[in-house]
Structure 1
């Protein structure tokens, strides 16, 4: 899997009522397509799985501004960072990697999207 570029987001924080809520997240692909994805704990995987199985590194994610390298590679936060991969409807070799996490702030919760990266993946299903 190869990172091509980071997608600019207009919004990155989404308030939620419960830790395991679903979030309707919308972004525009680099080709102008509008994509809506449901982010949740049940439909995502820990980011550490992607690093271990798909050959992407914490260093490359940190260089793209997802988070600090020390946070991404921290054992205490290895299940905090979640990911989903979304296919571009028009270009089959291009997919979008969404990195997010659910944060607790005393009496309320928040889904924070750390970044959407356009990635190239040829051959096989990356998710």
Structure 2
């Protein structure tokens, strides 16, 4: 796999699996899913600082983010699938994905286009 936006700062087997399933720029994920994933990953990184890293999972981070408040429905299945796929995610890997998501949401393939 070549170095690209997702893996520029840290390429690992776990990130490669994510990229293999959703595209090198996570282009198979829509803007809403990327925004929600960013919330989950931010919560995960923050809580990793407060808990024993191995005792707090990405699934727990997604539940703690209270998505019902944000989108009025259950968490999208694709987000549940991603959280399950990223079992064992390290803080460094989470930060790598957060960097990629931030770029995609602000300037890349998931940016909100002005009318």
TM-score scaled by structure 1? 0.23
**Greater length-normalized contact order (CA 8 Å, ≥ 6 residues apart):** 2
Larger relative strand fraction: 1
Greater helix percent: which structure? 2
